[in-house]
Amino acid sequence: MALWTISSGIFQKTKLRRYSWSTVGASPFNTGRLTGRTRNGGYKYTVEGQWQGRHRYLRVLGDKNGSADTKRLLRRPWLADHIEDTLQVPVRIVHVYRNPFDVVSSVVRRARESGRGPTDISAAIGLVENSMHAQQVVIDRLGAQRVHSVAHEAHLHDPQREIAAIIRFLGLAPESDYVAACAALCFEKPKRSFSASEWSRADVARVRQLIDSVAFLNRYAQHCPLD
């Protein structure tokens, strides 16, 4: 089975050791996942006491590059079929999403910190709208057999259940010690990036409309932070 990132037209292989919850990369971009060094956001990818950097039998290949992968699959809807035909293994995608109000606020915060990207709420909403609609198109094209969607908030509410569900989705049997070790690394609750002071009524209305128009975001219809 394979989870793939396609970079510049080249299959970029990364190994998921013994269905490791944190993917291990063979490329320089992914070196931190193997060594335990931090990457974007300062997160570490090592699951202590487990199989980081080792494996008995290689069962899954995978990588994490959500934004780029969405764009590639949107531009080339035949890509998943092409990978399966070429490698003769099934392709599976784990799709993680969160409250779009928090997504927009995070986009603005990171842009202000880095000096790159939209630094105002309205422009960030436009970026998030494009991304969310693109994700829905890809999900609709690939279908439930290939895409497993999980809300960030649901994952943190019961990480052992959600991690086990993803492992089963990949065609493997979850082992309790591994699932527990992965779950122990999760936050107790979502980090809320939303700050009401910067949002206009028009901005809030746009995101509410986005929630209504994208199927996987419908769960947030009753969770507007200004209600």
Q: How many CA atoms lie within 13 A of 80 on its CB side?
A: 20
Q: Give the residue among 211, 159, 215 at the shortest CA–CA distance from 188.
A: 159
What average pLDDT does the structure give for the chain?
78
- Distance of alpha carbon 18 from alpha carbon 148, whole angstroms: 19
- b/e map 81-107, b = 16+ CB within 10 Å: eebeeeeeeebbbbbebbbbbbbbbbb
* pTM beyond cutoff 0.85: no
Digit-coded pLDDT (tens) for 37-94? 455 556 677 888 887 777 788 888 777 777 787 788 878 888 888 888 888 888 888 9
Digit-coded pLDDT (tens) for 19-49? 333 333 333 334 444 444 455 556 677 888 8
120 contacts 105 by C-beta, under 8 angstroms: no
H-state helical runs in the chain:
31-35, 66-75, 79-87, 100-114, 121-142, 152-157, 159-169, 176-183, 201-213
Out of 43-52, 150-159, 161-170, least confident range: 43-52
Judge whether residue 17 has pLDDT over 50: no
Look at strands 147-151 and 24-25 and give their pairing. Answer: unpaired
89 contacts 2 by C-beta, under 8 angstroms: yes
Look at strands 147-151 and 93-97 and give their pairing. Answer: parallel
- Distance of alpha carbon 183 from alpha carbon 204, whole angstroms: 33
Q: Where are the domains of the chain?
A: 1-90, 92-227
188 contacts 156 by C-beta, under 8 angstroms: yes
Distances (CA, A) of 178 to 44, 64, 186: 17, 20, 13
